[in-house]
Amino acid sequence: MEPPRNRLRGLFRILTGYRLVYLLAIVSIAISSAARTGYSLWLRYFVDDVLPASPVTSDFIRIAAGFIVLAFVQGGLAFASQVLATRSSENVTRRLRNYLFDHIQRLSFSYHDQMPGGDLITRCSSDIEAIRRFFSEQAIGLGRILMLFAINFTAILVLNVRLGLYSVVAIPLIVLVSYFFFKRVSVIYEAYQEQEATLSNTLLENLSGVRVVKAFARQPFEREKFERENWKKYLRGKKLLTMFSLFWPSSDILCGAQLVFGLGIGAMMAIRQEISVGTYLAYAGMIRLVIWPIRNLGRLIVNMSTAMVSYDRVATVLREAREPIDVGYVPEDAKLEGHLVFDHVSFHYGEAAPVLSDISFECQPGQAIALLGSTGSGKTSLVNLVPRFYEYTEGKILLDGVELNQYSAKFLRRKIGIVEQEPFLFSRTIRENITYGVHREVSQEEIESAARAAAIHDAILSFPEGYNTLVGERGVTLSGGQKQRVAIARTLIKDPRILILDDSTSSVDTETEAAIRFALELLMQGRSTLIIAHRIQSVENADLILVLDEGHIVQRGTHAELIAQEGLYRRIYALQTRIEYELESEITGV
Ligand SMILES: Nc1ncnc2c1ncn2[C@@H]1O[C@H](COP(=O)(O)OP(=O)(O)OP(=O)(O)O)[C@@H](O)[C@H]1O
Ligand SMILES: [Mg+2]
């Protein structure tokens, strides 16, 4: 559901399901406001009608009881209104936050590529908070203010029309001034929120990269950077507060002038006996309740501008199209053969130059295709097309004879297992990390056999809590190679039809690599595999090796074929064998 452009309508929609409760809150506040006016009118009745008629004790009791009842109604309902408003505002914002989180998770890779995490955090936290304040304080305050104004203004008009009109002469001016500030504050608050997003980004990046910062001893630089951004936020915050502090006194002066003027006029009329003393007393009580709302209306309008800006900031994210992962083709028995054909495929990120050009190859079910090439040649980009992380821009990819972009992305991602180049582990137990991708109960045996296959079982058992060991924030307690192997186990347990291994053995030693390679070779049997590796040893057995350079396939063939021809492959091979030979002789020479 697209959030409406009109901000008030959008905010109204957020209230869905709680509108009745909210309405009740407004009705309560209305009755409470009316009771407050009733107070003044009761006073007038007492002064004008009861006092002159030589009252008896029972009259006083009646009057006192009346005041008490009114006080209870006013206070009780104001309280009830606050409770109802708080309840609905907490609930709607909790729901909105959940919805926003879910939505963010469903946005495409391309969206996340260009949207900084800190910005999204700000939108999920402080912008949602501004919306909460709108419902719990501002909207209900607005209802209260309008009610107070309407009831008291009408009451004064009924008492005396001229008096009524004199009490509001300055109001158009006050509204105008408030509107001016509303516009200014909107602009400044938006800049302020943007700066807050920048600041959270700086913080987030720093926390994620804390090791790099320390390793390069860049703390002073990072501190200065943070202080600079923080200073900018301070300046913008100051501007915002300056706006508020200019607005409050100016509206107060106008309101004060109006009050003095109204009271003065009323007093003159009472002296000239145009109105009774009781009416004057009632009027003196009520004019405050006309001016007070107007003064607060200004404040509210100005405060509301923050909610409006925040609504826009949240709605912009919500307007982003979700990745339609559920729609699309799913084979009848939900099975894949794993026959993959790239047919003159080209791809570029956003508006950038092509990263892959004219890629064609075929992978029969169960075959292993290896991708080799220098860094930045497009290997990761190529494999990312298969689970539809990104959409290819030209050519065709066929999976079991059906064009890839027809498939449901969810289905593909369940059937395709990826070991990413930089695997990410969650701050949960190792067990939870391994079973992350399976949507069913798994037995300990299954988990262990996956871990064994990934050559990580023994290492896990050596941890104090075994499989229940918590992985630290971003997997700090595990070494790079261990993390990678947990990621391999996580993929294996999914039992995917198509396996994608991105450089998954680069951060392990030669011995472990051999163990993993052995395990993987077993696992690759019967699965279509795309394997990216830097070491020729890892790809020797592949059915087809593609050598990539700047997004083009420059060589293709089996190991034997490629070794026999002049080219990049043979050069890499020669280089790697020489390095290994030298290493070996160095070790044996010692
Ligand atoms: N998300 C992205 N948005 C824009 N450009 C990208 C993105 N990811 C990669 N690129 C660019 O695409 C090109 C190919 O990158 P890719 O990650 O596919 O290389 P690679 O062959 O996997 O390299 P490596 O061996 O270092 O992993 C690079 O020039 C890179 O700058
Ligand atoms: Mg890569």
Per DSSP, the three-state class of 367 is coil
CA of 381 to the centre of ligand 1 (A): 6
Q: Is 112 in the pocket of ligand 1 (CB under 6 A)?
A: no
At 590, list the tokens: 């010692």
Are the C-beta atoms of 425 and 477 separated by less than 8 Å? no
Atom of ligand 1 minimally distant from the CA of 382:
18
> How big, in percent rounded to 5, are the helix, strand and coil portions of the chain?
65, 10, 25
Q: Is 551 in the pocket of ligand 1 (CB under 6 A)?
A: no
CA of 127 to the centre of ligand 2 (A): 36
Q: Is 378 in the pocket of ligand 1 (CB under 6 A)?
A: yes
At 160, list the tokens: 């005396």
Residue 189 to residues 124, 192, 230, 241, 404, Cα–Cα distance (Å): 17, 5, 16, 10, 45
CA of 382 to the centre of ligand 1 (A): 9
Atom of ligand 1 minimally distant from the CA of 349:
4
How far does CA 186 lie from the centroid of its chain? Answer: 21
What residues does 341 pair with on adjacent strands? Answer: 362, 398
Give the E-state strand segments of 111-255 in sequence order: none
Atom of ligand 1 minimally distant from the CA of 374:
25
Q: Among positive and negative, which fits the CA dihedral 304, 310, 316, 318? A: negative
Q: Is 114 in the pocket of ligand 1 (CB under 6 A)?
A: no
pLDDT the model gives residue 228: 94
pLDDT the model gives residue 67: 93
Q: How many CB atoms lie within 10 A of CB 168?
A: 19
CA of 323 to the centre of ligand 1 (A): 22
Residue nearest to atom 18 of ligand 1 (CA): 378
pLDDT the model gives residue 508: 58
Q: Is 533 in the pocket of ligand 1 (CB under 6 A)?
A: no
Atom of ligand 1 minimally distant from the CA of 379:
21
| CA pair distance 150, 514, nearest whole angstrom | 82
Q: Is 346 in the pocket of ligand 1 (CB under 6 A)?
A: no
Atom of ligand 1 minimally distant from the CA of 551:
14
Residue nearest to atom 25 of ligand 1 (CA): 375
Helix (H) or strand (E) holding 525: none
Q: Is 355 in the pocket of ligand 1 (CB under 6 A)?
A: yes
CA of 106 to the centre of ligand 1 (A): 22
CA of 377 to the centre of ligand 1 (A): 7
CA of 379 to the centre of ligand 2 (A): 6
What residues does 418 pair with on adjacent strands? Answer: 500
Q: Is 381 in the pocket of ligand 1 (CB under 6 A)?
A: yes
| Ligand 1 pocket: which of 114, 371, 379, 506 to mutate (most atoms within 8 A of CB) | 379
Q: How many CB atoms lie within 10 A of CB 328?
A: 17
Q: Mean pLDDT for each consecutive 10-residue tract of the chain (590 residues)?
A: 81 88 89 86 88 84 92 93 91 93 91 88 91 88 84 88 87 86 88 89 85 84 92 94 88 89 91 89 87 81 84 92 86 89 93 90 93 89 94 93 92 90 86 88 90 87 86 69 86 89 65 71 82 82 91 92 89 82 72
Residue nearest to atom 22 of ligand 1 (CA): 380
Residue nearest to atom 5 of ligand 1 (CA): 349
pTM of the model: 0.79
| Ligand 1 pocket: which of 112, 349, 546 to mutate (most atoms within 8 A of CB) | 349
| Ligand 1 pocket: which of 371, 381, 382, 503 to mutate (most atoms within 8 A of CB) | 381
CA angle 377, 387, 372 (to 5 degrees): 25
Q: Which among 405, 433, 404, 403 is positioned nearest to 419, based on CA atoms?
A: 433
Q: Is 384 in the pocket of ligand 1 (CB under 6 A)?
A: no
Q: How many CB atoms lie within 10 A of CB 58?
A: 8
Looking at residue 323, what DSSP letter applies?
P
Q: What is the largest CA-CA distance in the chain?
A: 124
Atom of ligand 1 minimally distant from the CA of 371:
21
Alpha-carbon dihedral 213, 215, 216, 222, rounded to 10 degrees:
20
Residue nearest to atom 30 of ligand 1 (CA): 376
Q: Which among 227, 194, 188 is positioned nearest to 118, based on CA atoms?
A: 194
Are the C-beta atoms of 47 and 278 separated by less than 8 Å? yes
pLDDT the model gives residue 479: 78
